[in-house]
Amino acid sequence: MCGPLLLLFGGLLVLPGTLTDPLSPPDLQLWAGLDLFSREDWAGAQAQLWGSVRSLRELREVRLRCGTECKLRGTQGPQLEEAVLSRADCLLGCERLLLGEPSLYRLTQETERVFQRGLPYNYLQVTHYKLEELDEAAAAAFTFYVKNPHHEQIQEDIQRYRRMKEIQEPSFQDLEQPQYKTVYAQALSLLSEGKLRVAVRRLEDSLKIYLMEHEDCRALCEGTREQESEIYKDFSYAISQYYTEVLQCKQNCALEPTLRPSGEHSKQDPLISHLSLLLDIYTKLEDWEAAAEIVRSLLLFQPRNETAKERLRGYEERLQGKNSGKLRESILSYVRRTLSEKKLLYYAMEHLNISFNDPDSWTPEEIIPEILRDRVKKEREEKDQRTLPFEEVTVTLTPKQMNGTTRVTLDGVINQEECQMLHSLGQAAGGPGSGFRGRLSPHTPRERIQGLTVLRALQMAASGAVDSSHARLYYRASERARVLAQSYFDTEKLHFSFTHLVCRSAIEGEQDSRNDFSHPVHADNCILDPEERECWKEPPAYVHRDYSGVLYLNDDFQGGDLFFTELDATTVTAEIRPSCGRLVLFGAGGENAHGVRAVTRGTRCAIALWFTKSAVHAEQERSLASDLMMGSDGHKQNKESETKNTGRETSGRETFASKEEPERPSGRRQKKRVNRKFEDEL
Ligand SMILES: *[C@@H]1O[C@H](CO)[C@@H](O)[C@H](O)[C@H]1NC(C)=O
Ligand SMILES: *[C@@H]1O[C@H](CO)[C@@H](O)[C@H](O)[C@H]1NC(C)=O
Ligand SMILES: *[C@@H]1O[C@H](CO)[C@@H](O)[C@H](O)[C@H]1NC(C)=O
């Protein structure tokens, strides 16, 4: 069993200098870097942090090579055991030769997670910024952002970098982007130029590269891992425990999220995205044979997809006699292997009580043992909820429970304290000393109403009329709602169309036998015509609005429920009670006609939000508000985000504000729009 060592390195390229100049362990460099960072030694920290990133890359490289070199040979009975031991020997020897003592390079799970989250890049962007290397800072920030698109601090930092004239657009690049994505993006851009033939070749390249990178990811799953619990002493059980962990890790390689243009993670398997796009292009090129081959490959994922089957029949008819029945071997073996691994994992789940979270939504039901099907289905539904970008937010009512397709109720969007802050902001907007007065509501003479836009709140904060932290919270809370809408409905980037913090108060003594509404039934992007049971999507309706949302701040009032109706404006299909931190999101069209029941006692405060997919219709006011947030008193805000952002452990951000002059778009157009809006937004 010791023969292989000598043979082994014949085919293996030993890195020059590896033996004399051993790799410095990534974790040591990482911790050294963070230590220097905390002592504000920017250059020193930077060198260590980059060193850790490079070491990690090299380490993975070596492990891949050793893995390839040390193939498992022999497959059955005692042969298998011998093969396993011999492979272990080979791997150990290989790594020892290329790296030194393996114990030096074992990372704890904690460190692995730090690298996975891309944390070094968040520190690197600061060190580069401090050293006035702006392009590098932007690239490091962007790299961290891609891994953490919902991290509020990094979103703001990216916006700041984008405003700095010195930084060119190409600097905003993901330094850890898998190669296939670069090639895929090239294919997309060729496609947009109408160069179909070149595009399709690029896409085929991208597919090949993806499959290779996928193999690498799988190979790295076999690395050493820290055992979380040591209680499994039984030989077979210990082995199956480890083996299923490796398999689960391999399954998750398909999960690698693709970043959509909106910055949201899409849930599509990259392989399916490739095939779907290839299918489109081959169809356009009228290359029926290639198209048929792709559909057959797609059908491996979804054998019951009738649309795909029909398309295949269409292509085969066109091909007539020349129908080869071919499909992509690479896809076939991918699907076969994935399914056989899934079978093992489900077996382990059924018989060994080992948990398995299947990352794929295309897994055919028959793979799952009958006894587990209900449980798996339930877990999948729960997982859907967990893909929300904020951990503390939960789905309270699914679209189905709300008797619609584009309606959802989320809870926990803001907490009790935040509700109170926003509530008092809404009331303070009534004017200093006046308590809560407001104007008479345009919808009913029995309520008073008060509204406040984000920009107005920030302006009032600037002049000291309201608490600045309250105004900032308003901005952030509305941003959270936007991200949630975008993510829940899985849309392209949503822009703000309008945001309004509105409080409605019952007028005392005028509530007897009320049968009107606080807000009559209407739809948000079309004119509801209940008699015709139609909704006319034409001006003066805000036709560009795509989604609406209401974030509630309190529940200590009577009445005021939100309700949805059919197009007849009378058949109620769902009714929602407001409560602090509850966000109701819905499509802005006639399918979600809605109204608000009379508020008969107390004050009901909520933030109403409208979103549009159209960048052209994004409201100007928001960008002015965002300038106010980032700009003049950004200093204070940075302090705030340090304490609030959970993922943030360090400081060193104060100089952003002083360095950067926020651009201020002219307010002329904006003023007109605000006036126009004021009437109907309440
Ligand atoms: C079925 O296949 C077609 C064509 O490939 C695709 O557009 C569609 O999304 C698939 N349906 C499902 C439910 O995945
Ligand atoms: C299965 O494992 C879970 C924890 O992972 C444990 O709570 C449960 O009791 C186990 N069930 C059986 C039958 O061993
Ligand atoms: C949806 O409809 C069902 C049956 O009519 C009803 O019981 C339920 O309350 C409705 N959902 C909501 C959120 O109102």
Has residue 277 got a pLDDT over 90? yes
Closest ligand to residue 229's CA: 2
SS3 573: strand
Peptide bond into 270 cis (omega under 30): no
Q: Rounded mean pLDDT of 46-66?
A: 92
Q: Percent of the chain at pLDDT above 90? A: 45
Tell which atom from ligand 3 comes closest to the C-alpha of 397. 13
Q: What are 223-246's pLDDT values in tens digits?
A: 666 665 556 567 777 778 888 888
Query: What pLDDT score does 135 carry?
Result: 95
What is the 617 CA–ligand 3 centroid distance (Å)? 35
Q: Whose CA is nearest to atom 1 of ligand 3?
A: 403
Per the annotation, the verdict on 604 as an active-site residue is yes
Has residue 641 got a pLDDT over 50? no
Which residues, 6+ apart, have CB-to-CB distance to 456 below 8 Å?
Answer: 429
Most confident range (mean pLDDT) of 79-88, 102-111, 162-171, 509-518 is 162-171
Query: What pLDDT score does 267 carry?
Result: 61
What is the 400 CA–ligand 3 centroid distance (Å)? 9
Q: Is the CB of 397 under 6 A from ligand 3?
A: yes
Closest ligand to residue 563's CA: 3
Q: Is the CB of 572 under 6 A from ligand 3?
A: no
Ligand 3 mutation pick, 402, 403, 410, max ligand atoms within 8 A of CB: 403
Has residue 646 got a pLDDT over 60? no
Distance, in Å, from the CA atom of 167 to the CA atom of 318, rounded to the nearest integer, reads: 53
Q: Rounded mean pLDDT of 462-468?
A: 89
Q: Percent of the chain at pLDDT above 70? A: 82
Distance, in Å, from the CA atom of 313 to the CA atom of 321, rounded to the nearest integer, reads: 13
Q: Is the CB of 506 under 6 A from ligand 3?
A: no
Distance, in Å, from the CA atom of 102 to the CA atom of 224, rounded to the nearest integer, reads: 10
Q: What are 287-309's pLDDT values in tens digits?
A: 999 999 999 999 999 888 888 99
What is the 489 CA–ligand 3 centroid distance (Å)? 21
Confidence band, pLDDT 50/70/90 cuts, at residue 656: very low
Check residue 548 and report its DSSP letter.
E
CA distances for 289 relative to 194, 286, 292, 296, 325, angstroms: 21, 9, 5, 11, 9
Nearest to 282 by CA among 318, 322, 332: 318
What is the 266 CA–ligand 2 centroid distance (Å)? 33
What is the 353 CA–ligand 2 centroid distance (Å)? 6
Confidence band, pLDDT 50/70/90 cuts, at residue 394: confident
Q: Rounded mean pLDDT of 83-109?
A: 83
Average pLDDT of the chain is 82
Tell which atom from ligand 3 comes closest to the C-alpha of 563. 14
Has residue 285 got a pLDDT over 50? yes
Has residue 659 got a pLDDT over 80? no
Place of tokens 């730090």: 114
Q: Is the CB of 562 under 6 A from ligand 3?
A: no
Q: Rounded mean pLDDT of 58-83?
A: 80
Catalytic residue among 604, 648, 669, 676: 604
Nearest to 187 by CA among 298, 295, 274: 274
Report the run of H or E that residue 638 belongs to, with start and end. Answer: helix 634-644
Tell which atom from ligand 1 comes closest to the C-alpha of 362. 14
Distance, in Å, from the CA atom of 67 to the CA atom of 299, rounded to the nearest integer, reads: 32
Has residue 386 got a pLDDT over 80? no
Has residue 627 got a pLDDT over 80? yes
Closest ligand to residue 350's CA: 2
Q: Rounded mean pLDDT of 339-353?
A: 91
Q: At what angle do helices 77-99 and 42-69 cross, to 10 degrees?
A: 150
Least confident of 12-26, 104-118, 511-525, 629-643: 629-643
Q: At what angle do helices 634-644 and 152-163 cross, to 10 degrees?
A: 150
